[in-house]
Amino acid sequence: MKYSAEHDTFSKIITHLIIIIGLLMLMAFSTAIPGAKAPGSIAILVLFIAIFITWGFSPRYYQITHDGILIRRPFSNIFLPFEDMKAADIIDNTTLRGSIRLFGSGGLFGYLGIYKSAYMGNYQMWCTNRSSLVLIVCNYKKIIISPSDNLAFMIELNDKRSRQKKTASIIKQSR
């Protein structure tokens, strides 16, 4: 089943503000004196490239497949196989208090990239809504996602993980 990546209010506001500011800058610099070089044209270009790249890495939806979790993004997907997962649970956004963004976006098209906190250590966030969080602990990393219905997501995830473990156990015993 697919779980949408709905944006929270803060993410919507930040995303719209940055796009509007970029468009206003574009309009302001495009009305410069004809033949004169627009002083901010490089800044506008960099801004729109940053917006495009951030959009490309923001999640569109999350899907639980027969062997893992797929985080669907326009540029490249992330796949988390069940066999690499140690634990998964719903968390509250207060768990993320005091986090520092090491690399990524803190509101533009979601909360994306690498973060660090005293409580959680290093972790990746591929979220769009801070009120619907799921922590997935894998062998070598922690990932936080935000499926639209995190409770239904966890029920399906636990069901598919337990089925996969049973199947793996049966295969192992038959050898």
Please give the chain's pLDDT, 175 residues, in tens: 899 999 999 999 999 999 999 888 888 776 665 665 666 677 788 889 999 999 999 999 999 998 999 999 999 999 999 999 999 999 998 999 999 999 999 999 999 999 999 999 999 999 999 999 999 999 999 999 999 999 999 999 999 988 877 776 677 677 6
Q: What pLDDT does residue 26 have?
A: 81
In the chain, how many domains are there?
Answer: 1
For residue 77, the model assigns a pLDDT of 97
Instruction: Provide the pLDDT for residue 8.
Output: 95
Per-residue pLDDT, 38:
60
Q: How much is the pLDDT for 85? A: 94
If phi > 0 it is left, if psi is from -120 to 50 it is alpha, else beta; for residue 120 that is: alpha
Q: Which domain holds residue 31?
A: 1-175
**How would you class 146 by CB atoms within 10 Å of its CB: exposed for 0-12, middle for 13-18, buried for 19 or more?**
buried
| pLDDT for position 151 | 95
Residue 44 backbone dihedrals phi, psi, to 5 degrees = -65, -45
Q: What pLDDT is recorded for position 111? A: 96
